[in-house]
């Protein structure tokens, strides 16, 4: 299955305004630079997510990302890259399946959420990855959009439902059910996929009674209703950094013409280096 996001910041706040936006002169965070033909993007990696930070730095120092593509871009959502299969990929090839042969355990932190401009890890879906482990190499940078409180209320319900679905996927008693579901998907047997999905939906609806309602914090609501982001990804994908310079470049990349698989029509290559 493709490493992808459920199909949405950064304003650089004054020093120390938010817990995750410290004054750089007092910050031990590592900084990386992504160079592209559209311009450069500078990113701070969070110390609160050390597994993701250290893995990303390891790959950068090995020049793993050099000449890879931003292979999936969706305006008002995000830009995604890091698929090793994207290097020298012919035009029109669908990308997103490539990886490095390992995953990173999820490092969820309620203080690190999907505001505009954060760096986060892509991953396989809950049906085959109920632990929500991250891809060892694929990442995305959120662009997102601004939401109002009514929409955020609906997204809270959606996140709660997704957590119930994840509980169903984690339940060992349902393993065979999900294996059949995935197998039928691969074979393209639509009727069987639909039939199993109805069973999974019923189990999820029943599981909702055991899941505490998800609620955005005041900090999240302020961010999502002012500068924006992709709130529906919170609590399911690991956020491990944020853009500190070059958000305009992210916007330009997100606007680039793309094909039916959301791959830019023009290759957008990256080179990533550690600058601090």
Q: Tokens standing for 124?
A: 């396989």
Q: Looking at residues 3-7, what average pLDDT do you find?
A: 51
| Mean pLDDT (whole number) for 191-195 | 96
HEC-encoded secondary structure of the chain: CCCCCCCCCCCCCCCCCCCCCCCHHHCCCCEEEEEECCEEEEEEECCCCHHHHHHHHHHHHCCCCCCCEEEEEECCCEEEECCHHHCCCCCCCCCCCCCCCCEECCCCCCCCCCECCEEEECCCCCCCCCCCCEECCCEEEECCECCCHHHHHHHHHHHHHHHHHHHHHHCHHHHHHHHHHHHHHHHCCHHHHHHHHHHHHHHHHHHHHHCCCCCCCHHHHHHHCCCCECHHHCCCCCEEEEEEECHHHHHHHHCCCECCCCCECCCCECEEEECC
Is 24 a residue whose pLDDT tops 50? no
Report pLDDT digits (tens) over 230-243: 999 999 999 999 99
Average pLDDT over residues 12-25: 35
Whole-model pTM: value is: 0.88
pLDDT at 4: 53
What percentage of the chain reaches a pLDDT higher than 70? Answer: 91
Q: Are 217 and 110 in contact (CB under 8 A)?
A: yes
Cα–Cα distance for residue pair 69/56, rounded to 1 Å: 16
- Nearest alpha carbon to residue 160 among 227, 222, 208, 88: 208
Q: Tell me what pLDDT residue 263 has.
A: 97
Residue range 183-205: average pLDDT? 96
CA distance readout (Å), 224 to 16, 24, 64, 92, 250 = 19, 24, 33, 35, 18
Q: How confident is the model at residue 8 (pLDDT cuts 50, 70, 90)?
A: very low
More confident residue, 41 or 25: 41
55-106 pLDDT, tens digit per residue, is 999 999 999 999 999 999 999 999 999 999 999 999 999 999 999 999 999 9
For each of the domains in the chain, give its residue range(s) and CATH number, in order of start. Answer: 24-146+226-274 (2.40.100.10)
The answer on pLDDT for 12 being more than 50 is no
pLDDT (0 to 100) of residue 27: 72
d(CA 119, CA 230): 12
| 28 confidence band (pLDDT: 50, 70, 90) | confident
Residues 6 or more apart whose CB falls under 8 angstroms from that of 224 comprise 115, 146, 147, 152, 216, 231
Q: How far apart are CA 219 and CA 202, in angstroms?
A: 34
- The stretch 9-17 carries a mean pLDDT of 29
Confidence of residue 3 (pLDDT cuts 50, 70, 90): low
Q: Which residue from 119, 96, 106, 111 is spatially nearest to 31, judged by alpha carbons?
A: 119
Residue 142: pLDDT band with limits 50, 70, 90 = very high
- Residue-wise pLDDT for 201-251, tens only, equals 999 999 999 999 999 999 999 999 999 999 999 999 999 999 999 999 999
Q: Name the more confident of 52 and 16.
A: 52
* Percent of the chain at pLDDT exceeding 90: 89
CA distances from 66 to 23, 151, 186, 240 (A): 29, 39, 32, 20
What pLDDT, on the 0 to 100 scale, is given for residue 25?
A: 44
Beta bridge partners of 118: 242
pLDDT at 26: 59
């Amino acid at each position: 299955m493709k490493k992808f996001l459920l199909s949405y910041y950064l304003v650089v706040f004054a020093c120390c305004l938010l817990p995750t936006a410290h004054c750089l002169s007092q910050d031990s965070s590592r900084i990386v630079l992504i160079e592209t033909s559209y311009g450069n993007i500078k990113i701070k990696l969070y110390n609160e997510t050390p597994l993701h930070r250290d893995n990303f730095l390891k790959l950068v120092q090995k020049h793993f990302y050099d000449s890879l593509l931003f292979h999936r871009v969706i305006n008002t959502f995000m830009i995604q890259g890091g698929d090793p299969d994207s290097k020298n990929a012919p035009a029109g090839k669908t990308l997103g399946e490539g990886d490095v042969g390992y995953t990173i355990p999820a490092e969820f932190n309620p203080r690190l959420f999907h505001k505009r401009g954060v760096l986060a890890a892509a991953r396989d879906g809950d049906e085959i990855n109920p632990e929500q482990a991250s891809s060892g190499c694929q990442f995305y940078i959120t662009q997102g959009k601004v939401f109002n409180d009514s929409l955020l209320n609906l997204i809270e319900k959606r996140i709660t439902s997704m957590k119930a679905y994840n509980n169903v996927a984690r339940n060992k008693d349902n393993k065979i059910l999900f294996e059949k579901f995935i197998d039928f998907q691969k074979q393209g047997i639509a009727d069987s996929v639909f039939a199993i999905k109805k069973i999974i939906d019923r189990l999820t609806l029943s599981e909702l009674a055991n899941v505490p309602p998800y609620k955005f914090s005041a900090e999240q609501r302020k961010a999502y209703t002012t500068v924006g982001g992709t709130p529906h990804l919170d609590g399911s994908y690991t956020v491990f950094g944020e853009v500190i310079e070059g958000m305009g470049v992210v916007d330009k990349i997100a606007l680039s013409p793309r094909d039916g698989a959301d791959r830019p029509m023009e290759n957008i290559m990256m080179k990533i280096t550690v600058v601090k």
